[in-house]
Amino acid sequence: MKFRTLAIHAVTLAAAVSAAMVHAQAGVGATATPAYVSGGVGDADAERLKSQERDYDLKLVFTLNEGNYVASVGVSLRDAKGNQVIDTVSDGPIFMAKLPAGEYTVAATYEGRTVTRKIGVPTRGLRTEHLRWQGNPATDFAVPRQMSQ
């Protein structure tokens, strides 16, 4: 009986540690930072994020004007009062956050260039914003468009 009780406690502890690790990986800090996730490099990761969209209310997509996706984008979100809500670097071209409904200012920085935009987060549903930067012809290669025949 003692072994069974000990096993139950061990499983409970493992589950609690696992939940804490998932919570931390989602970008949730001890200072009540809203939950967020980023990524989308490769088809499998993009599909993983697509399957999580229902859990978030803001989605940011980062690309060059030419269509290339970009990663390592600095993301800063401030609420209507100017309070910093999120300040992080996106792991890929897709960034999603769960925020209280309201007005926010997004500042996204890629290679030293910042795009700033005011956005409204809805009470229900997912708000998607595309943030774009001009490509650098010396280092960025435009994605060729398919021509219809």
Residue 145 has pLDDT above 90, yes or no: no
Q: What pLDDT was estimated at residue 84?
A: 97
Q: Is the CATH number of domain 33-133 3.40.605.10?
A: no
To the nearest 5 percent, what fractions of the chain are helix, strand and coil? 25, 35, 40
Q: What pLDDT was estimated at residue 146?
A: 63
Could you read off the pLDDT of 38-87 as tens digits, one per residue? 999 999 999 999 999 999 999 999 999 999 999 999 999 999 999 999 99
Higher pLDDT, 9 or 107: 107
Beta bridge partners of 128: 59
Q: What pLDDT was estimated at residue 149?
A: 53
Residue 26 has pLDDT above 90, yes or no: no
Q: What pLDDT was estimated at residue 144?
A: 63
Q: What pLDDT was estimated at residue 129?
A: 97
Q: What is the pTM assigned to this prediction?
A: 0.73
pLDDT-based confidence at residue 20 (cuts at 50, 70, 90): very low
Q: What pLDDT was estimated at residue 32?
A: 76
Residue 89 identity: V
**By CB neighbour count within 10 A (0-12 exposed, 13-18 middle, 19+ buried), where does 45 fall?**
middle
**Two structure tokens written together for 60:** 């940011």
Task: Give the torsion sign (CA, 137, 107, 92, 130).
Answer: negative
Q: What pLDDT was estimated at residue 29?
A: 39
